[in-house]
Homo-oligomer: A and B are copies of this chain.
Amino acid sequence: MNKHINTVGSNTYQRIKHDIIYGELEPGTKLKLDGLKTRYAASLSTLREMLSRLASEGFVAAEEQRGFFVTPVSREDLIEITNLRVLLECSAVKESIENGDTDWEGNLVAAHHKLHLMEQKMLNGDETQKETWKRYDGEFHLAMIQACNSKNLLDIHATIYDKYLRYQMLVLTYRGQEAVDEHKAMFDAALARDAKLAQELLEKHIRKGVEHTLEKIFPKDA
């Protein structure tokens, strides 16, 4: 029971980050300290500290003497995020498959199982838990790369994934059976320890998902 210590700071940090990722604070919004103070019930110093953190992670844009903004979204940014995710996650999945032990396999099986259950629900028309589904999706992808033996890589990937997630939340589209099959195929490739195949499937999976998102958020570009 690794209970999270509830300091005011880390609590508001998590809430602001969540609100940005899940679109409750819209891209480009000016974050006036006085407003946040009432909304999150924290002091200026504490808020600044957390906004600085979010700024260096890239969720908030900080302009000297001019305040904080929710980082804007753009077509180019989504493309960059996607390419980075492909680069990092493919590299990590290779390492992970080559080094993963029994524990890793166990966690992967569990993660895929949970995701698969949720996907079945979605296919049957129950779309009430999209946020939970997306969480299981993220946990599955994390489980795939967990054994890559690089804390640094996992940290960077986590941030990139959250940025990707924000774009997903702007549309929250469900690709249905197609995505389900892709997850299953990646899962099988990982258990079969076929790193090369897993990498190829993963890249296709990521890029296909983003294609949908791109089309919906930034349609029709020259």
Contacts and interface: CB of A to CB of B under 8 A. Distances in A.
Interface of A: 4-5, 7, 10, 45, 48-50, 52-53, 55-58, 64-65, 77, 80-81, 83-84, 87-88, 91, 149-153, 155-156, 160
Dominant SS at the A interface? helix
Number of copies: 2
A4 B88 CA distance: 33
Given A5-B65, A56-B57, A65-B5, A80 B153 contact: yes
B45 A80 contact: no
A84 B154 CA distance: 11
Given A48-B45, A52-B49, A77 B5 contact: no
Contact of A87 (B4, B53, B87, B151): B87
B52 A152 contact: no
Contact of A45 (B10, B45, B91, B149): B45
10 contacts: A5-B65, A45-B45, A53-B55, A80-B149, A81-B152, A84-B150, A84-B152, A84-B153, A84-B156, A156-B156
Contacts of A52: 49-50, 52-53
Contacts of A149: 80
Nearest to A54: B56
Contact of A64 (B10, B53, B160): B10
